[in-house]
Amino acid sequence: MFDLDAYLERIGLDGRPSIAQVHRAHLTSIPFENLDPHQGLPVSLEVEDLERKLVTERRGGYCLEQNLLLKAALEALGAEVDMFLARMRLGAKPGVVRPRSHLVLHVRENGASWHADVGFTRGILEPIPFGPGPTQEQSGWSFRVVEDGSELVLQRLAGDEWADVYSFLPQPVPLIDVETSNWWTSTHPHSLFVTGLIVGVRGDDGTGTLLCDWSELSLSEQTPAGTSVTPLEREVIPELLSTRFSLPGFTLAADGRLVLTNAG
């Protein structure tokens, strides 16, 4: 049985909050991080393992973990939830087709139909109406969903232009397909989640903070007005994880990877 009370306490809520309240509280309370694949540890998508890691141990996770935990919580609150696998488009080079490794949720409750996603720190803060529609303004950010052939595309306004974030076929997928994507994402030697480091949080005001070494190690602050980037030395990461991302207990190993030293 999903421990809804423990989950709500983790994200600072209680009672019977709305889907929008749960979505924003989850996104701003549980950090995005790939520290398990970074350490060479495969990721489990079993709900009890997600509860233990993200709720009890107060860790974070990447999109598949985050959105499956949200799915379990919203279903415990009485909603119906379908899963879709998406391809990230943001930052992709022309002609590059990325794998379907991002998870998006379709949530239905009391006749309403919502697009939900707490697994992307530069994405929506609250659910938006599912499918193509008008621009959605959230804490200074602008989002919309458009059609591209048979796919739906989430876009974010960047300056004066719309930028694709990710695309997906609006066809629900079974858990086995999500597990297959998770296996590739958390174990394949060419996966950026195995070879690199990415940790992110979202503030209550919508500001995003991202620690990443996919190109060079840096800390970025993202607001609707723009992004500032600060290069970093690797030695400062454990302190940043603790103070900026609420992820204490990590130290640098001799090979430069981060390891959790306070497990158990």
pLDDT tens per residue, range 200-230: 999 988 899 999 998 899 999 999 888 999 9
Q: What is the pLDDT of residue 159?
A: 87
- Percent of the chain's residues with pLDDT above 70: 99
Residue 146 CA to residue 110 CA, distance in Å, equals: 25
Q: What is the pLDDT of residue 264?
A: 44
Q: What is the pLDDT of residue 91?
A: 83
Judge whether residue 155 has pLDDT over 80.
yes
Task: Give the pLDDT confidence of 3-12 residue by residue, as tens digits.
Answer: 999 999 999 9
Contact 124/139 with Cβ under 8 angstroms?
no
Residue 192 CA to residue 65 CA, distance in Å, equals: 16
Q: Residue 11, SS3?
A: coil
Q: Which own/partner pairs from 255-258 qualify as long-range (CB within 8 Å, at least 24 positions apart)?
A: 257/38, 257/39, 257/40, 258/35, 258/38, 258/39, 258/197
Residue 109 CA to residue 77 CA, distance in Å, equals: 10
**Catalytic residue numbers, as ranges:** 63, 102, 117
Output the CA torsion sign for 122, 151, 170, 115: positive
* Rounded average pLDDT over 125-147: 97
Show me where the domains of the chain are located.
4-260
* Rounded average pLDDT over 63-78: 98
Q: Residue 194, SS3?
A: helix
Q: What is the pLDDT of residue 86?
A: 98
Structure tokens at 240: 């940043």
For residue 124, how far is the Cα from the chain centroid? 10
Q: What is the pLDDT of residue 184?
A: 96
**pTM, 2 dp:** 0.95
Q: What is the pLDDT of residue 2?
A: 96
Task: Give the pLDDT confidence of 78-133 residue by residue, as tens digits.
Answer: 999 999 999 999 988 888 889 999 999 999 999 999 999 999 988 999 999 999 99
Q: What is the pLDDT of residue 233?
A: 94
Q: What is the mean pLDDT of the chain?
A: 95
Residue 167 CA to residue 152 CA, distance in Å, equals: 5
Task: Among 3.30.2290.10, 3.50.50.60, 3.30.2140.20, 3.40.50.300, name the CATH number for the domain at 4-260.
Answer: 3.30.2140.20
